[in-house]
Amino acid sequence: MGEPQPPRLLDQVRAALRARHYSRRSEEAYVQWIRRFIVFHGKRHPREMGAPQMAAFVTALAVDRHVAASTQNQALSGVLFLYRDVLRMPIGHVALPLRARTPVRVPVVLTPREVRAVIDALVGVPRLVTMLLYGAGLRLQECLALRVKDLDFERREITVRRGKGQKDRRVMLPDAVREPMQMHLGDVRRMHESDLAAGYGRVVLPQALERKFPNAPAEWAWQFVFPAGRICRDERYGRPTRFHLHETVIQRAVVRAARAAGLTKRVGCHTFRHSFATHLLEGGSDIRTVQELLGHADVSTTMVYTHVLNRGGLGVKSPLDR
């Protein structure tokens, strides 16, 4: 028998990302940009290229593709990861292009009336998810990754596990969500019991918990609060499983609901998190409390929401109106 073939380059990239506990979204983005970098240069192997080719690729994204500064920076980070952490190659003496300066934007915030209009235009699971995005200030991925054990109805709180920056935090469970959530969990439990009867029903656990608790994947407490509509097979997890709902389901539903509500603002799922923070500050909540609820590492990140309050310059009466 011949010697085993070494893993393909992109498989090596995935292995390096997982060894460093990058998120699933970061893995998908980095692999995509590395693939595009290779295709951009005629499918040459990265070992035959260096800093000049990196500069040409990133510059073309900005000049020819007109990508946003954040997208350009993400592409550069992905290619740098390939050379520094996978190939472990020096990138040459040619200066890399400077990272694009990301513009500082004021977040889009809805009024309470607009929030109600969008939520009223939603039905089913997208409505429940959106109520949590606004009522608890969750990020979309944090909300979809919730498991049954993370909801505490007695204490009226939600525990967010491994949020952005791999940090846990606790947020409120709004009273308006409790009854519809309990009804929803009843439906999810019946689906889980049906999966178990069919020989499935084992959910994916984070990291190596399945080896430590071999029966946990089939337990009710570990099931996703918002499971996908069908069982799928992902090469990362092996056996068929029911993962959580895909984020595009909620994103598309929110966009349709905003149109149906007649809003002219650009509304996305993250808009409800912005509105949550702004409305808390407008209601007199302390900015440190809001920082803790949002899971921000630095209060300066939370300070962006003071730009949209009716204070400071916006609280001054225009001379035109005098």
- Active site residues per annotation: 139, 164, 270, 273, 296, 305
CB of 282 within 8 A of CB of 310?
Answer: yes
Distance of CA 298 to CAs 11, 70, 150, 190, 223, Å? 35, 20, 25, 42, 32
Contacts of 315 (CB under 8 A, 6+ apart): none
Per-residue 3-state assignment (H helix, E strand, C coil) for 121-150: CCCHHHHHHHHHHHHHCCCHHHHHCCEHHH
Q: Which of 270, 298, 267, 24 is nearest to 138 (CA)?
A: 270
CA distance linking residue 322 with residue 320, whole number of Å: 6
Give 55: exposed, middle or buried? Use CB within 10 Å, 0-12, 13-18, 19+. middle
User: b vs e for 88-121, b when ≥16 Cβ sit within 10 Å of the residue's Cβ?
Assistant: eeebeeeeebeebeeeeeeeebbeeebbebbbeb
Which ranges of the chain would DSSP assign to H, the alpha helix?
Answer: 9-19, 24-40, 51-63, 69-81, 112-120, 124-136, 140-144, 175-197, 209-212, 247-260, 269-282, 287-294, 299-302
Q: Which of 47, 125, 123, 57 is nearest to 86 (CA)?
A: 47
CA distance linking residue 185 with residue 128, whole number of Å: 11
Which letter does DSSP use for residue 100 in this model? P
